[in-house]
A and B are shown apart, each in its own frame.
Chain A
Amino acid sequence: MNWIPNILFAIVLIIGIGFFAKNVKKLVRNIKLGRDIDRTDHKKDRWNNMIRIALGQGKMVVRPVAGIMHIIVYVGFIIINIEVLEIIIDGLFGTHRIFAFLGGGYDFLIGSFEVLALLVLVAVFVFWVRRNVIKLKRFWNPEMKGWPKNDANYILYIEAVLMCLFLTMNATDYQLQQLGAEHYTQAGAFPVSQLIAPLFEGLSQSALVMIERSAWWLHIVGILFFLNYLYYSKHLHILLAFPNTWYANLEPKGKLDNLEAVTNEVKLMLDPNADPFAAPSEGDEMSEPEKFGASDATDLNWVQLMNAYTCTECGRCTSECPANQTGKLLSPRKIMMDTRDRLEEIGKNIDANGGTFKEDNKQLLDNYITKEELWACTSCNACVEACPVNINPLSIIIDMRRYLVMEQSAAPAELNNMMGNIENNGAPWPYNQMDRLNWKDEA
């Protein structure tokens, strides 16, 4: 017996999975560069969210065409992976269609994979047309130039190629089964590949085996390649959508967090008994005052960073954003893409410098996200509502405004006026607090 293909297969598999593990490690390391935040309460609601939104695609169908097509690709992807399990076993042990013993059940499985594969091809085609022919506006915003645009198309091409390989493999297998070729067990139903099988009619048995084996190999190598492509792509969402929806904010959308560091200082200021000059007790964090707000990716919390890696760049947020729709520079999708790009840059910097970050005189603010974008936001939460994987771009905008205002006093002049008024008169306009009830007696 010839063991070379099996050994080769094992090596390919180990390399493929090994690289993937390495990327996952890097991903987790980068996300952990974020500040701590506790999002482990209400576990039941969290599981519900994950099941409804990630597994059940609950927010996708808000836009029915894209939603239904996406569900086809998603279900196809998951189901066809059962086939991958068989491929791996066959590859390692030199068997062929090891699950064939399931009999009628196996016919049903293979038959439904084939139908799904066809549907996926159709959906991928529709997606490609929407992006490249119809040119839906949300796929052509300025932040979608270059890599993000190519990435989206590459994914569609890879998916199409994988499905074609799968069907070619089955079609030739079917032919070989008809010819009664050795090793090719009679198994499976081939409702779709049967239709393309005539393409291979008249080929010699060895040519058929060649094609079948090539398709088989390319299919599994393609899947391993795709697995490793994820880290560099918006396609990472197929994995991160799950933890991302689990850890998503459960509070009402209007509620912003109250910065604890500020609470402590405010208490000190208002408490007549507190001694502002008291020496900080040992182990106190006072020695290194915490930065208020965020000027760089690592000032954000880890859930916000996970959000950035999860973003599918679908642009639903941006297409609902009132600022973006009225021509302002702000695009909530760009906020997420910038955060991810900057975090990647920081990660690479750490890798290049033996595990520690070397100052690169860059930051998320200004080098990626401009003040003009930040000040255009109305905090309306339309982006948060629209996101199919519960990403919160608004929280990043607010954290960056906090840095601008509290660390740099860099608010627009009119806002400084408004805040001055609140401080002095208790209202955003220059009216006296003592006049607050005058309306009662006005005609």
Chain B
Amino acid sequence: MSDTIKVPTMAEMMAQGKSPEVLFWVGCAGSFDDRAKKITKAFVKLLNKAKVEFAVLGTEESCTGDPAKRSGNEFLFQMQAVTNIEVMNAYEVKKIVTACPHCFNTIKNEYPALGGTYEVVHHTQFLKSLLDDGRLTIEGGQFKGKRITFHDPCYLGRANNVYEAPRDLIKKLDAELVEMKNCRKKGFCCGAGGAQMFKEPEKGNKDVNIERTEQALETKPDVIAAACPFCNTMMTDGVKGKEKEAELQVMDVAELIANAEDL
């Protein structure tokens, strides 16, 4: 793995009088969570490889407000939103890519009414377009013939009807995409959404992520592919809970592609 990754910030770009093709919105998980940081880096490597002129906000980025909004704290959400929008509008941001479906949903759907209108794409959609345009190529690699099941993130799938981009990417790995019984529109939540990530679950007889992990295990996968840092955490915990971590991995679609390329 090469260690040098190039991550320019908007401020640096601006100082050089340049404006990037796309803003990479890293998100809180992607910035601070140890597991999610690996996804961030894998995605950056792919961006570097495809020579995409991108930039991040760095220390000027702040939580989109999604967990606050879904907890019911509309005040805090709008404060966050308005602050972020001011920053992005000052940089004249046009297009945003993010590896977090929650950030994706919030910026795409809930920011416009507050003055922030951008073209927002999920990183799986962006990677797909890089492949389609020939800016990035994948050749089978280490996932050839492996069984990969894809867990639909609620905020990418049902919330925004993006079902195919991540699947198209997985198919490009020459891997065998095996679907769970509950997939696409009927995808079963990992248990993290609606701010559940930040609290203990309510009383019940099972944790949601265990239920979902069991559904994934039914497909006997070599890899559970995720496309959301929170789903990733939930499924990783689920696999550990089932003591299966020696047999299979939970990986983000961006990591799959970066690893196939052995970046």
| Partner of A258 from B5, B108, B113, B161 at Cβ < 8 Å | B113
How far does the Cβ of B3 sit from chain A's closest Cβ, in whole Å?
7
Contact of A415 among B5, B62, B193, B198 (CB under 8 A): B198
Q: Are A372 and B31 in contact (CB under 8 A)?
A: no
CB-CB < 8 A to B195: which residues of A? 415, 418
Q: Write out the residue numbers on chain B whose beta carbons fall within 8 Å of the beta carbon of A322.
A: 188-189, 191, 208, 211-212
The contact string, 1 if C-beta is below 8 Å from chain A, for chain B 130-147, is 000000000000000000
Q: Which of A392-433 touch B at CB < 8 Å? A: 398, 400-406, 411-412, 414-415, 417-419, 422-423, 426-429, 431, 433
Chain B residue at minimum C-beta to C-beta distance from A261: B74
Q: How far is the CA of A439 from the CA of B41 in the complex (A)?
A: 8
> Are B72 and A405 neighbours in the complex by a CB distance under 8 Å?
yes
Q: How far is the CB of B159 from chain A (nearest CB, A)?
A: 3
Whether A381 contacts B159 in the complex (CB less than 8 A), given A263-B114, A293-B72, A426-B80, comes out as yes
Interface positions, chain A 310-346, Cβ under 8 Å from B, are 320, 322-323, 325-330
From B53-61, B88-96, B165-173, B236-244, the one touching the partner chain is: B53-61
| B107-120 to A contact mask, C-beta < 8 Å, 1/0 | 01110011000000
- Report the nearest A residue to B156, measured CB to CB: A254
Give CA–CA (A419, B161) in the complex, Å: 29
A10 adjacent to chain B (CB < 8 Å): no
Pair B63/A403 contact, Cβ less than 8 Å:
no
Contact assessment for B204 and A379 in the assembled complex, using a CB-CB cutoff below 8 Å = no
Contacts of A440 in B (CB 8 A): 5, 7
Residues from chain A with a CB closer than 8 A to the CB of B72 are 293, 398, 400-406, 411
B154-198 contact mask (Cβ, 8 Å, vs A): 1 or 0: 110011110000000000000000000000011111011111111
Say yes or no for A437: interface residue by CB 8 A criterion: yes
A300 at the interface (CB under 8 A from B): no
Instruction: Tell me which residues across on chain B come within 8 A of A269, comparing CB atoms.
Output: 79
Cross-chain contact A326 with B207 (CB below 8 angstroms): yes
Q: Which residues of B contact A42 (CB under 8 A)?
A: none
A385 at the interface (CB under 8 A from B): yes
Alpha-carbon gap, A400 to B71, bound state (A): 10
Return the chain B residue nearest A438 by Cβ: B31
**Alpha-carbon gap, A327 to B198, bound state (A):** 20
B259 proximity list for chain A (CB < 8 A):
none
Over the window 247-263 of chain A, the binary record of Cβ atoms lying under 8 Å from chain B Cβ atoms (1 yes, 0 no) is 00001111110110011
Q: Check A327/B188 contact, CB under 8 A, given A252-B159, A439-B40.
A: no
The count of chain B contact residues (Cβ–Cβ below 8 Å) is 73
CA A407 – CA B155 in complex, angstroms? 27
Q: Known contacts A256-B69, A412-B199: does B7 contact A437 (CB below 8 Å)? A: yes
Bound state CA distance, A310 and B191, in angstroms?
29
For the complex, what is the distance from the CA of A101 to the CA of B198, rounded to whole Å? Answer: 72
- CB-defined interface of B41-67 with A at 8 Å, one 1/0 digit per residue? 100000000000000101101110101
- Closest residue of chain A to B32 (Cβ to Cβ) is A431
Contact: B74 with A326, CB < 8 Å? no
**B220 CB-CB contact with A under 8 Å:** no
A431–B208 CA distance with the chains assembled, in angstroms: 27
A262 touches B80 (CB 8 A): no
The verdict on A376 contacting chain B, using a C-beta distance below 8 Å, is yes
Given known contacts A254-B155, A426-B62, A427-B32, A419 and B71 CB-to-CB distance under 8 angstroms: yes
* Contacts A/B (CB < 8 Å), 11 sampled: A251-B109, A254-B109, A254-B155, A256-B69, A378-B194, A379-B154, A401-B70, A415-B71, A415-B199, A426-B62, A427-B32
Question: Taking beta carbons and an 8 Å cutoff, which residues of B are in contact with A?
Answer: 3, 5, 7, 9, 26, 28, 30-33, 37, 40-41, 56, 58-59, 61-63, 65, 67-76, 78-80, 82-83, 105, 108-110, 113-114, 154-155, 158-161, 185-189, 191-208, 210-212
The 5 closest A-B pairs by CB, nearest first: A254-B159, A401-B72, A379-B194, A327-B205, A426-B62
